[in-house]
A and B are shown apart, each in its own frame.
Chain A
Amino acid sequence: MSRPTDLVQGTLDLLILKTIALEPMHGWAIAQRIRLLSQDVLKVQQGSLYPALHKLEHHGFIKSAWDTSDNNRRAKYYSLTRAGEKRLAHELESWDRLSGAITMVAKASAL
């Protein structure tokens, strides 16, 4: 399978961080929530979800804990760490800047 480009990888991290900023959840729930919040536009490639989660955890931005899920199965719940909060704020800011710049360029009328 093709490796996601850096841009996509970065935005996936942002989506994950934002999603679990609201409340800790497990992988399945994160995927569903992103679909829900984005009104189904963003269908997370589920194959890249778990590697992204593990990478974020490895770098210390999120932490995990095993718990029983709503269907009485064991599931790993992810939540933000302090460093993760800071990272989320940072990512949001750069995303704003980037998308703002793209908008400016896209909407610029011919000179």
Chain B
Amino acid sequence: MRVLRVIGNRLRSLLSGDRLDDEAREEIAAHLERQIAANRATGMSDDEARRAAVLEVGQVPQLGEACRDARGLAWWDALRSDTRYAVRQMRKRPGFSAAAVVTLALGVGATAAVFAVVDTVLLRPLPYTAPDRLYTLYEINTRGNVGRTRAAALNFLDWQQQASSFSGMAAHVGTGFTLTGRGEPEFALGQLVTPGLLDVLGVQPMLGRGFQPHETEAGRNRVVILTHALWMRHFGGDPSVVGRPSSINGQPYLVIGVMPPSFTYPAETYQLMTPLVTRGNVADGPPISRSARYLRVVARLRDGVREESAREELAVIGKRLSDTFADSNATVTIGMAGLAEDMTAGAQKNLVIVLVAVGFVLLIACVNVAGLTIARGSARGRELSVRAAIGASRGRLVRQLATEGLVLFIIGGAIGLTLAAWGVAALASELPTSLPRAAEISVHWRFVAFGAALTFISGLLFSVLPALSIARRGPASGLAGARGTVSAGRAVQRTRGILIAAQIAAAVVLLAGAALALRSFDRVRKADKGFETAQTMTFGFVMRDRAFPQTADMRAFAGRTVEALQAAPGVEAAGLTTHLPLADNNLENTFTVDGSPVEAGQDPPIAGVRGVSGHYRTAIGARLLQGRDLLPSDTERAQPVVVVTADFANRYVRGASPLGVRVKMGGADSDDPWRTIVGVIADIRHGGLDQEPRPEVWMPYAQLPDDLAATWLRGLNVAARTSMDPEAAMPALRAGMRALDADMPLMNVRTLDELASESTAERRLETSLLAAFASIALVLAAVGLFAVLAFYVAQHMHEFGVRLALGATPRGLLGLVIRRGLVLLAMGVALGLPAALAMGRGMSTLLYGVEPADPVALGGAVALLSAVTLAACAVPARRAMKTDPLVALRND
């Protein structure tokens, strides 16, 4: 009961404090009256009675205050008045306040924005039921350097049947679909899925239903589930579309469901799902075998089953399969990884780097504001001394100063958070699509909570500490001299000196990091890609089996395409390829080289397979080193020939020249025909501009094995080198394609330049961020140093006057100030360089062709910082130089 009473009392004091004050005063006044009356009754005169009573009881206002304190809300009153005072102080010094608020807004805002991204991508659980029980399964091939691959369909089906550790398993693979029947044929990426996928993830369609097991049968699979985005875009959000057929790939597919907007599995780019055909006549779809490995598998661990037991069971199943199906599975084991970690593994390192960098920026911002606060505080020495003299305890002074700082932090933090929230929402769409879960990035309550916590904690830290240092001096010191004594200023100077050194150190780290990133980016740009990206247009198309049932049809179409494109105005060279570089598309196969058998313990030759046609090599500007190009005369009836990259020749072909050597796909006993190497081209960086080139084997499209072409290589990419701006040539190319096939949509229309820059989008973003942070750090550190030196000069004016009077030269004073600045710079650099080295080592994933301790980068960072800080010294130093001794000495 007492607790309730206490709470009630506190609330009442809080809300109607004034009324309680009045009551107390009334009570005390009444008591006083009675005492006066009692005094008069003992014979005192009116005046004596009143005086005696007041002496006895006390003054009403003071007693009123004592009672108010006793009501336990002294801290609240103090807070209110402190805050009011703080706001007033802020308005009196708009320049300082604005600088502090802007600095804090930058620091807090940038950190919160980065946190929003990191939180979504790395920390937030996936938006599915019990996401920590979801795992991805894959095959690991221990032969050669193949490593991890996707799963083959028959293997997956066995896992699904035999593994009891999982309550459900599903598989899927991405492919392209053409939506026809409404205007221009539209191309959309989608997934072929096994029916249990939605159950495994624990999500339900928003409209309609999920897939059913019988829909994996050939002929009964023409059903489709749309994502919310596709439903809105292509079907106008019309709910009646569920239950009606829609034309996909020229066939009627029944729309059975629509997913909720939050469903973006496995990535935002996939817009629809249809069943994977695993039974019946599977010829229309992807191969259901044990060697075509293309399925991504997701599985839910059964309740109560531990991850280790599941792994053990998978090991047993894997062994069983490799024993039973030695041809395909002999060296294959089953791997398992948490779904969330697997999706975000690539991004993790880089995001952490950015987070650490922005943390440094925040640190610098806070330290800057703390330094400014201290400077202003020590200039208020007199005011503080007066306060202390009339009874403010040191704790009270600290509280007041800390409140002033906290108010700045709260205002700066609020502005920063607002800017960050707006920024995150606006820029979420600009993030590279390779960033996993980018679609989920949004402003979230966790972002606000983090921002608020950040503001308060850093605010408390960086307001209380300066306040403590300011309030250290006793009251007498401030009152003694007209301005604070120099010795008292020294302690403050030391503190600020340390703060500045810390700022400079942080700036060194950020500058070094940015320099390393910039140099790496430059190296990547200048690296020899093996092809030229200027003035080249690319796009893709897919020859569907409906329209092109035989490989002969595909080859014929390919040939006609090359002719049409070559004839288009503005085109210098046009060609086709099954795999465009930098387009995240690859097919590798093992090869056997005639005359260069594989030694024991060595890995068999593996190379990327490319089916090319027309003047592809010229179109992308790849260089021919030896031999000849693939020609139109290398048809399916001619002798099989290939062109290989230099890497392939160096690694796998023994002997003087690779020309004339024969290779074939597969192992020594495969039935692929022997193909003769007729040319060698320079290495191609196919996977990415910052990745090492891998060996490649180019074959004429017409000479690709029939089943390989029919299954995997129905998609072709055009590369057309133009004599004019590639965009300007595009309409002619479109017309040419339309003349060949009016229903075929063109996909991924972009210049090779665009493709190249898309492939470095992530690197570019990180480098820009680091550079931006480094610039902010540089400015803040310079401003901080400037403030310290300006204050030093102002404080020591008197001393400078004395020195000049005693014979010092103005240049000597200049040297004094500059030396001070250099000492601080040196301290900061000494502190910062080891940290910069550590940062460099931590950044190793971002570095390319650059060592973490790259002297150019580190040296450049230090040089830039030194130049800027010297410039910051300039103005205060000049002021010192211009000291007029008469004026300085007079102004005591």
Residues of A within 8 A of B (CB): 1, 26-28, 31, 46-47, 50-55, 57-61, 63, 66, 69, 71, 73-76, 81-83
A69, closest chain B residue (CB) = B30
Additional A-B contacts beyond A58-B70, A58-B71, A69-B30 (14; CB < 8 A): A1-B58, A27-B28, A47-B56, A50-B67, A52-B70, A54-B24, A55-B70, A58-B13, A59-B2, A59-B6, A60-B3, A61-B2, A71-B34, A74-B30
Minimum Cβ distance to chain B for residue A21 (Å):
17
Main secondary structure of the interface of B (DSSP, over half): helix
Is B637 on the interface with A (CB-CB < 8 A)?
no
Q: Provide the bound-state CA to CA distance between A55 and B10, in Å.
A: 11
* Interface range for B: 20 to 34
Q: Provide the bound-state CA to CA distance between A87 and B773, in Å.
A: 61
Is B57 on the interface with A (CB-CB < 8 A)?
yes
Q: Provide the bound-state CA to CA distance between A47 and B62, in Å.
A: 9
B2 touching A47, Cβ below 8 Å: no
B53, closest chain A residue (CB) = A46
Q: How many A-B residue pairs have CB under 8 A?
A: 78
A residues less than 8 Å from B727 (CB atoms): none
A58 touching B9, Cβ below 8 Å: yes
- If the complex has contacts A28-B34, A51-B67, are A57 and B28 also in contact, measured as CB distance less than 8 A? no
Report which of A46, A54, A60, A82 forms a contact with B70, defined as CB distance below 8 A.
A54
Instruction: For chain B, residues 44 to 82, give those with C-beta under 8 angstroms from any C-beta of chain A.
Output: 56-58, 63, 66-67, 69-72
Minimum Cβ distance to chain B for residue A31 (Å):
8
A residues less than 8 Å from B2 (CB atoms): 59-61, 81, 83
Is B31 on the interface with A (CB-CB < 8 A)?
yes
A residues less than 8 Å from B56 (CB atoms): 46-47
A81 touching B70, Cβ below 8 Å: no
B residues less than 8 Å from A71 (CB atoms): 34
Chain B positions 529 through 551: 1 when the CB is less than 8 Å from some CB of chain A, otherwise 0: 00000000000000000000000
What would 24 A/B residue contacts be, using CB atoms closer than 8 Å? Answer: A26-B27, A27-B28, A28-B30, A46-B35, A46-B57, A47-B57, A47-B63, A47-B66, A50-B27, A51-B63, A51-B66, A51-B70, A52-B70, A55-B72, A58-B9, A58-B71, A60-B1, A60-B5, A60-B6, A66-B23, A73-B30, A74-B26, A74-B30, A82-B1
Minimum Cβ distance to chain B for residue A8 (Å):
15
B residues less than 8 Å from A51 (CB atoms): 63, 66-67, 69-70
A83 touching B1, Cβ below 8 Å: yes
Q: Provide the bound-state CA to CA distance between A66 and B19, in Å.
A: 14
Report which of B35, B58, B63, B66 forms a contact with A28, defined as CB distance below 8 A.
B35
- If the complex has contacts A46-B57, A83-B1, are A54 and B71 also in contact, measured as CB distance less than 8 A? yes
A47, closest chain B residue (CB) = B58
Minimum Cβ distance to chain A for residue B34 (Å):
5
Minimum Cβ distance to chain A for residue B73 (Å):
9
Minimum Cβ distance to chain A for residue B462 (Å):
34
A residues less than 8 Å from B67 (CB atoms): 50-51, 53-54
A residues less than 8 Å from B35 (CB atoms): 28, 46
A46 touching B13, Cβ below 8 Å: no
A residues less than 8 Å from B70 (CB atoms): 51-52, 54-55, 58
A residues less than 8 Å from B3 (CB atoms): 60
B residues less than 8 Å from A76 (CB atoms): 23, 27
B65, closest chain A residue (CB) = A51
A75 touching B30, Cβ below 8 Å: yes
B27 touching A27, Cβ below 8 Å: yes
Residues of B within 8 A of A (CB): 1-3, 5-6, 9-10, 13, 23-24, 26-28, 30-31, 33-35, 56-58, 63, 66-67, 69-72
B residues less than 8 Å from A47 (CB atoms): 56-58, 63, 66
Which among B24, B35, B57, B69 has the highest number of chain A CB atoms within 10 Å? B57
B residues less than 8 Å from A60 (CB atoms): 1-3, 5-6, 9
A50 touching B31, Cβ below 8 Å: yes
Q: Provide the bound-state CA to CA distance between A74 and B67, in Å.
A: 19
Minimum Cβ distance to chain A for residue B59 (Å):
9
Minimum Cβ distance to chain A for residue B267 (Å):
61
Which among B35, B70, B72 has the highest number of chain A CB atoms within 10 Å? B70
A residues less than 8 Å from B6 (CB atoms): 58-60
A46, closest chain B residue (CB) = B57
B31 touching A27, Cβ below 8 Å: yes
A residues less than 8 Å from B31 (CB atoms): 27-28, 31, 46, 50
- If the complex has contacts A50-B28, A52-B70, A58-B71, are A83 and B5 also in contact, measured as CB distance less than 8 A? yes
B residues less than 8 Å from A73 (CB atoms): 30, 33
B residues less than 8 Å from A27 (CB atoms): 27-28, 31
Minimum Cβ distance to chain B for residue A71 (Å):
8
B5, closest chain A residue (CB) = A60
B7, closest chain A residue (CB) = A60
A75 touching B27, Cβ below 8 Å: yes
Q: Provide the bound-state CA to CA distance between A31 and B3, in Å.
A: 28
Minimum Cβ distance to chain A for residue B134 (Å):
54
Minimum Cβ distance to chain A for residue B13 (Å):
7
**Which 3 residue pairs across A and B have the least CB separation, nearest first?**
A47-B58, A60-B5, A55-B70
Q: Provide the bound-state CA to CA distance between A47 and B65, in Å.
A: 11
B64, closest chain A residue (CB) = A50
Minimum Cβ distance to chain A for residue B40 (Å):
14
B6, closest chain A residue (CB) = A60
Q: Provide the bound-state CA to CA distance between A69 and B72, in Å.
A: 28
A residues less than 8 Å from B66 (CB atoms): 47, 50-51
A residues less than 8 Å from B30 (CB atoms): 26, 28, 69, 73-75
A residues less than 8 Å from B58 (CB atoms): 1, 46-47
A residues less than 8 Å from B28 (CB atoms): 27, 50
A residues less than 8 Å from B57 (CB atoms): 46-47
B residues less than 8 Å from A59 (CB atoms): 2, 6
Which among A51, A53, A59 has the highest number of chain B CB atoms within 10 Å? A51
Q: Provide the bound-state CA to CA distance between A58 and B17, in Å.
A: 13
- If the complex has contacts A74-B30, A83-B5, are A58 and B72 also in contact, measured as CB distance less than 8 A? yes
B residues less than 8 Å from A69 (CB atoms): 30
B residues less than 8 Å from A57 (CB atoms): 9
A residues less than 8 Å from B13 (CB atoms): 58
A residues less than 8 Å from B27 (CB atoms): 26-27, 50, 75-76
B residues less than 8 Å from A66 (CB atoms): 23
Minimum Cβ distance to chain B for residue A22 (Å):
20
Minimum Cβ distance to chain B for residue A56 (Å):
9
Q: Provide the bound-state CA to CA distance between A81 and B2, in Å.
A: 9
A residues less than 8 Å from B34 (CB atoms): 28, 71
Q: Provide the bound-state CA to CA distance between A57 and B23, in Å.
A: 14
Minimum Cβ distance to chain A for residue B14 (Å):
12
A residues less than 8 Å from B9 (CB atoms): 57-58, 60
Minimum Cβ distance to chain A for residue B8 (Å):
9
A29, closest chain B residue (CB) = B34
Q: Provide the bound-state CA to CA distance between A77 and B67, in Å.
A: 16
Minimum Cβ distance to chain B for residue A70 (Å):
10
Which among A55, A61, A81, A82 has the highest number of chain B CB atoms within 10 Å? A55
Q: Provide the bound-state CA to CA distance between A3 and B27, in Å.
A: 22
Q: Provide the bound-state CA to CA distance between A71 and B69, in Å.
A: 30
B residues less than 8 Å from A52 (CB atoms): 70
Minimum Cβ distance to chain A for residue B761 (Å):
63
B71, closest chain A residue (CB) = A58
Minimum Cβ distance to chain B for residue A40 (Å):
14
Q: Provide the bound-state CA to CA distance between A75 and B9, in Å.
A: 19
Q: Provide the bound-state CA to CA distance between A89 and B33, in Å.
A: 34
B3, closest chain A residue (CB) = A60
Q: Provide the bound-state CA to CA distance between A74 and B22, in Å.
A: 13
Q: Provide the bound-state CA to CA distance between A50 and B70, in Å.
A: 9
Minimum Cβ distance to chain B for residue A78 (Å):
10
A81 touching B5, Cβ below 8 Å: yes
Q: Provide the bound-state CA to CA distance between A76 and B27, in Å.
A: 7
A residues less than 8 Å from B69 (CB atoms): 51
Minimum Cβ distance to chain B for residue A54 (Å):
4
A57, closest chain B residue (CB) = B9
Q: Provide the bound-state CA to CA distance between A102 and B63, in Å.
A: 34
B residues less than 8 Å from A26 (CB atoms): 27, 30
Which among B5, B69, B71 has the highest number of chain A CB atoms within 10 Å? B5
